Structure 1
């Protein structure tokens, strides 16, 4: 190759949108969830021309962003969406806040009005004040593409920011008169993050504390999803049980003898003398399960601000969980005096199971789902009675196969998140477990799934109400119901009208059979499950301090 050929190869020519997309594709972006509009016309023309990038157009902006979140959470790779500015962008902010809370690498591509009119508030279509400032509230990093020559380096910077740990959403905006402007940009070098320097003195202190523990406990969150092997190795070395609430499900297989559900974990927390928290805010444990002077807490987190936000740890380690755990694994054998806790774990597990038995109706449905769903199948947790209980009673066997909206608790995210998860993981079944109230939040995206032949499965638990709200109104307010009773459509006719497949199951046994059948159907499936009032999950799952 001549110097001239090399120089030409280093240049990207085309519109700002085309240049940006070329860099994103070269950086690994394969799918984009998008909804068109006039400010993004030139972007969509560029999408049409771009090879190696699948465009999935949705029926609502919020759906596009939730799909990107589901995609990111199951794959660990950036999930990308594109929408128009103003109300289009604002429709995505619930999903962006969910992605932020769940540390999901979501890339938002947002249009803008004409450059010359920005900030003047002349009443342009979709104009809002200072859109970039709004975007900054839900993202780690934002930028505006002002010219084609900037498109490549800004796109590369966005990819770089998306790979920082902990993951966070990133946002780009581009005015409508810039997307289609022709120009030239130099192909940027793709940067990689340097590993954070490990604090070996802190590792040594942590190893000594863990090695001398009598009742160590490990708590994992979403930040441990890519360190599964290291967590398992360390837990075995320390004879330490491992537990999680939502985001850490699957880090250790539920078949592992050292894995314990959250109810059992709550019991063991009360007797623990050392807790190792990996990639978790530890909010539930520190603020509810209780802390005292007898408990030593060691925390590993990529975000230094998290370490002391609620309670100062005994030792704090900042950096990549996988790297730090590997150092601990190397350091602990020389100081390891831990012993088996198998008897204590089994006693706690038996006590936890006794508590969970009070939620038998929900658990029977969860057993049916688990029996039908392959080990690598993905469970999407929406806000419904069965899903609430899944956080403690659904066995998860692999990392990134249980996804949840986390502390944002965004009702109705499940349909769109499951579609995104299915696009990211086309070879495994994806199941959204959702109530009738939440299903109607995003039901229009069934049309998206049918049009793009995305074969995800919805388990629709229908009690014709916002069941959680209704139970509170009945129990706390003497049955004064308001806003909690729902008049639903005929879900079979609704499903049929989209061209999706409909199944019906009245019992857990029928659900298991229906789910096995649905997994073999090439297309989206809705399994309606009529349910009545179920036991209050919060009598078990709303914890108090277990420290005595």
Structure 2
């Protein structure tokens, strides 16, 4: 007899899932019944939040949904932080949980891991939260999740299966076949956008995370209309080294000046969130007067009105525009405008942040094509303001959007398992690293040859600085860091401590040569 738990594994395989992240528990044992005999790899984090962050990193690196298995109650609530980060950054994540037996739900009888309304709670965080109560519902629930990932702005989806439902017979279940066609733009919106472009003299493109897999089409359109391209944090890595690229935050005055000087802005896959466009909270960002928005999500379009809205997958819309716009003679000053903005932004961030950006550039130059997965730490903050990565989608972190500390280590493990041939570096601070420090063990289990770079300034230095700037005496911002080298050694992971970043390049090359997880601690004065 095939059970619902076994059928679930087969359905996930049919939808292309090759890895799941989770900690087994008595409330999910039946979900694991068919896992050992499947082609799906299971990775055990040391905390369910790590399972969610690993699924997030896997999804960002691979472009495929990350999948987590968690128990009901605390397992699921531990995963909520990761789900909220995924929702903020439009990351496809499927969380499959157990829930107590059907007859007990909502009755407050005190069962193990009981929540008053688990499904209702998850509906507040997930794009969709669905309970499966009989075998026939399972193929549709899985298909619906993957349809959401493919046809809408992605994010977390939750499916729960009650304890008494998991072992029920589920013979003959087959995956539902749904046509998941690329969402193409309608001709009316494309022609309206084309007319605006034709009438402009100084166009500009904003490329967000929704554009990170569209580099060829983005380069083609930008070149045809001679438009500088500003890449937000989640768009970094696009157009590396290109003369039209401005890899700098729209929160900087020099970048805002470029936007203000443009007579048309084309925004591709960006939500205009304050952590990208107004991170200093000065209210200095205003929507451009002439704006073309390209986004897959209709609700997102309504939040920020545009002159012309093109609802479509970013790549399809860029290809359609590039095919019809006229590469007519212009002032051809796009490269000059981009260079001026780059130079102004670089000077604006100042010497301290320039030095921190240099740390990130050292990683990029030592390990070309690496995925750099960041946590909230000083070099990451600085590079989010200004940094040109060399791999589309290869720079991501949790310092924008939801802003969850502890994201970097588990997300880097997920990324390394998704793209095993690429170097993966986790850049974390000593404070944030302690949030998910035990995931070093999961890197060994993988094995995931992540290079963990710990920026050790002995505390939450950005928060301390903010307190001082506000005239508040710093309290609670100097947690004592452990001996990271000793902890790595306890896990059997090789490690190296350097003072300052001068020796970081050689240390990275040595770490990469081992082919195993490695920890580099940078002690900052």
Q: Does 1:193 align with 2:180?
A: yes
Contact 2:43 2:445 in 1 (8 A): no
Worse-matched range after superposition: 202-211 or 55-64? 202-211
Correspondence list, 1:138-287, <5 A: 138-196=125-183, 198-253=185-240, 255-262=241-248, 263=252, 265-284=255-274
Distance in 1 of aligned mates of 2:134 and 2:299:
36
| Partner residue, 2:479 | 486
| Partner residue, 2:299 | 305
2:361 is aligned, of 352, 360, 367, to 367
2:14 is aligned, of 26, 47, 53, to 26
| Partner residue, 2:63 | 76
Contact 1:212 1:335 in 2 (8 A): no
Change (3 A) 1:363 1:159: closer
| Residue 338 of structure 1, CA deviation | 6.0
Change (3 A) 1:510 1:196: closer
Contact 1:152 1:185 in 2 (8 A): no
Distance in 2 of aligned mates of 1:197 and 1:75:
22
Contact 1:224 1:248 in 2 (8 A): yes
| Residue 84 of structure 1, CA deviation | 0.4
Distance in 1 of aligned mates of 2:366 and 2:416:
17
Distance in 1 of aligned mates of 2:184 and 2:457:
53
TM-score normalised per structure 2: 0.94
Q: Give the CA RMSD over aligned residues.
A: 1.9
2:319 is aligned, of 320, 326, 338, to 326
Structure 1 runs not aligned, ≥5 long: 1-12, 533-548
Correspondence list, 1:357-436, <5 A: 357-358=350-351, 359-374=353-368, 376-405=369-398, 406-436=400-430
Worse-matched range after superposition: 195-204 or 216-225? 195-204
Distance in 1 of aligned mates of 2:336 and 2:44:
54
| Partner residue, 2:286 | 291
User: What SS is found at the alignment partner of 1:508?
Assistant: coil
| Residue 196 of structure 1, CA deviation | 4.0
| Partner residue, 2:516 | 523
Contact 2:27 2:98 in 1 (8 A): yes
Distance in 2 of aligned mates of 1:475 and 1:317:
43
| Partner residue, 1:477 | 471
Aligned residues: 514
| Partner residue, 2:494 | 501
Contact 2:139 2:173 in 1 (8 A): yes
| Partner residue, 1:546 | none
Distance in 1 of aligned mates of 2:506 and 2:40:
37
Distance in 1 of aligned mates of 2:181 and 2:445:
42
User: What SS is found at the alignment partner of 1:88?
Assistant: helix
TM-score normalised per structure 1: 0.90
Contact 2:228 2:246 in 1 (8 A): yes
| Residue 357 of structure 1, CA deviation | 4.0
Structure 2 runs not aligned, ≥5 long: none
